[in-house]
Amino acid sequence: MTSVIAELFDKITAEQGLGRSLDHEGSANYAVQKTLIKVATDHFIRFGYRRANIAEIARDAGIGKGTIYLHFKNKRELFFSCLIAEKRELLPQLEIIENFPEEERLKAFLEVTFSFALTASLTRALLSRRQDFAALIEEIDATILKNHDQNFTEYVINKLISPVTHNLDTDDKKTITNVINLATLAIGYLPEMAFDLPGQEIRTDEFVRTLAMIIDRGIKNT
């Protein structure tokens, strides 16, 4: 049986303009696509969107430039497909969390997503190096992103917040979800040196656990 979060991922990645998932693992195209995603992700992180070069990506992937276009329409689709692949690394953990007791899901979800925000290299590059991705950001369809956010918001409210709160109306829950989203984005901006400042050193895993605990308790006590 497919998990709710897996269905959500499939729904989001089916949106036109947000890239594509890899073909299934047993297909003839899977190995080539997986290599392309790995190499392209490295190039986008190193050079940004504008300076990343399709010909160089193809060369480092060991294929001809034209072969890329058999799998991805253009550089834009390739980039978003790299983002999808990065985010899909979260899926196994989120599927496990769905089977947790209701009282434990929210905190576990926060810990996983905050940890991801600190370690997802391509997502962090997109957030923190706007100048390197400006051309791409200008192309993004705001309607697509709005639909993406709405789907995710509904999941967080229905599966994580509503089961553990009894005094919040729909608007309150949406506001809390927006705060969680913004906190996750803000974490993505944090440089590694932020955790090593004199007098306030903290391990990243301790930071994640503590922040998740504070938000989880705050929501449940509201």
Give the tens place of pLDDT for each residue, 185-202: 899 888 888 899 898 899
8-16 mean pLDDT:
79
Tally the C-alpha atoms within 13 A of residue 172's C-alpha that lie toward its C-beta: 11
Confidence of residue 9 (pLDDT cuts 50, 70, 90): confident
Say whether pLDDT at 11 is over 70: yes
Q: What is the pTM of this model?
A: 0.89
What is the distance between the alpha carbons of residues 129 and 32, in angstroms, rounded to a whole number?
Answer: 29
Q: What is the pLDDT of residues 59-102, one digit of tens each?
A: 999 999 999 999 999 999 999 999 999 999 999 999 999 999 99
**Torsion 4-10-12-15 (CA) sign:** negative
Q: Which of 45-49, 53-57, 125-129, 160-164 has the lowest mean pLDDT?
A: 125-129
Q: How confident is the model at residue 132 (pLDDT cuts 50, 70, 90)?
A: confident
pLDDT class for 143, splitting at 50, 70, 90? low
What pLDDT, on a 0 to 100 scale, did the predictor assign at position 203? 93
pLDDT at 179 over 70: yes
C-alpha span between 5 and 23 (Å, rounded): 19
**Percent of the chain surpassing pLDDT 90:** 67
The rounded mean pLDDT for the chain is 90
What pLDDT score does 65 carry?
A: 93
Give the residue-averaged pLDDT of 26-36: 93
pLDDT reported for residue 67 = 94
Instruction: Give the Å distances, CA to CA, from 182 to 41, 75, 136, 198.
Output: 24, 28, 21, 27
Would you say 159 and 98 are in contact if contact means Cβ atoms under 8 Å apart?
A: yes
CA dihedral 30, 31, 33, 34 (to 10 degrees): 110
What angle, rounded to 10 degrees, do the helices at 170-189 and 102-119 form?
30
Among residues 69, 67, 71, 102, the alpha carbon closest in space to that of 85 is found at 71
Q: Please, where are the H alpha helices in the chain?
A: 4-13, 30-51, 54-61, 65-71, 75-88, 91-98, 102-119, 121-128, 134-139, 142-155, 170-189, 204-220
Q: Is the pLDDT of residue 142 over 70?
A: no
At residue 139, does pLDDT exceed 90? no
- Which residues are within 8 A (CB) of 146 and not within 5 positions of it... i.e. 6 or more apart? none
